Structure 1
């Protein structure tokens, strides 16, 4: 979890309270959205820099989204990669094609987290059709298990983006809130 110290929150609360609930909520949403978009931009830059742009599908689908289940008075945005059945069905409707023809960037989690492979044995054959005892003897003989499963290191892009763009996100939030407060003060006059 990223932590940052922000000064001047007491006077900001007073200014937001003066705006009224609806306008304060609107201002907070737009400000947090601006901060989340800074983190999203950084995530896309990091993914490109690490060479994860094979088809461009994963990088294109790095998005921000507002959480509708946040408690009252709290605005929450999530940054992630659109994927899964809902993603495929939505894209299929937009393109007027079957959903099984849509490419899904589900593989982003393989880049973000460390994973183990399910590789083949030394001789290039899987151990199917062998009894449990035969497989056990085979593993002893060829030390298959270590060859079959190797750990592939992660190339994370979302977590580092949050850490690196933290300051930029806070500045974007401050700037957007200042714009919203000035806009409100002009409307009052």
Structure 2
């Protein structure tokens, strides 16, 4: 087993000693790929914007912790030497699936490859999805946000294969959601 996976497993075991399954809240937001970061050409500007994203996540996590008196996972504070973006993504997908009952998505999440994957996982495992104002994010709204982000980036001359894949996956959610409603209405 490589050291990154061993570290992640150890961290998940440690979390399981203090967080019962599906009880925590989590703030999810773009760290390295927001709308503004995609538009920025200067690396220093991208770094500043990333810091702004980290602050927004931390502020919402602090507010939720105070208002709801629940454990709140804040991914922006974890820094592990040697971890890639994929390592962080894998770890927090595991955290979401095991410990989170409700995820709060920071505005602009639809521009992030990692955050859109987290949204899809939430929908697959039944984690409630809310925006940073606390409103439920409906599947149709999520699809519309992703489609608008995809159009915006294409208009800016940027195209990402993952966006088309996510749009298809989100559209699949909508189809499943409608099938579930139809089946539920019949019984």
Identify whether the pair has TM-score above 0.5, normalized to the shorter chain.
no
TM-score normalised to the size of structure 1?
A: 0.25
Larger radius of gyration: 1
The higher-RCO structure (CA 8 Å, 6+ apart) is 1
Greater helix share, structure number: 2
TM-score normalised to the size of structure 2?
A: 0.25
